[in-house]
Amino acid sequence: SIVHGSDARSELFEPVVQERGHGLEEWSLAWEQPPPRPIDSYDAVMVFGGAMHADQDDTHPWLRDETMLLQQLLDRRVPILGVCLGAQLLAKAAHAAVHVAAEPEIGWYEVELTQAADTDPVFSKLPPKFDAFQWHYYTYHVPAGAVELARSERCTQAFRLGDSVWGVQFHPEVTAPQVDSWLMSEDGNGLPRAAIAAATKERI
């Protein structure tokens, strides 16, 4: 699990991994520490969100290294799941554009599956429309050769690249305490905190 801060980690996914009999190790290039083991020894990789943006290589130089790492994993056909920033970095590693969204999505938004999701091994399990938690200012272009699996009114929400790589813009891993911490850390930006907190309590 590649993470980008203490408040955007594996969350709900960690117990699922453990219940299936696997081990999960979290690591970040931002920690300036080597990974616990060689990257090519992992059976799968998850890449989660963060407060930074996918094009901020100048501010966060390790993002350039992470993009190169993801390119290597894609070349080796390692199964990958990218969430939010992780999805944007996957798209970038696959040579697609990432850029500021026309409008940010912060809170709960409806996501609608595309027809391609009907036969997808992951997204075919989901209802055609559902509410998902979002917290992003950037979006991505679907990489060449990838299949778009979901959209919201504002932007693309999910894609599959090849047989074992998925990018998801929304946050399927999020927990209520995590949302609370994100809301508390955002000061003075005009967010409707009470409304998002109430919606989270209802829909989480």
Q: Which residues are catalytic?
A: 84, 171, 173
- SS3 letters across the chain: CECCCCCCCCCCHHHHHHHCCCCCCCECHHHCCCCCCCHHHCCCEEECCCCCCCCCCCCCCHHHHHHHHHHHHHHCCCCEEEECHHHHHHHHHCCCCEEEEEEEEEEEEEEEECHHHHHCCCHHHCCCEEEEEEEEEEEECCCCCCEEEEECCCCEEEEEECCCEEEECCCCCCCHHHHHHHHHHCCCCCCCHHHHHHHHHHHC
How far, CA to CA in Å, does 62 sit from each of 3, 31, 55?
12, 10, 11
Q: What φ, ψ does residue 58 adopt, rounded to 5°?
A: -70, -40
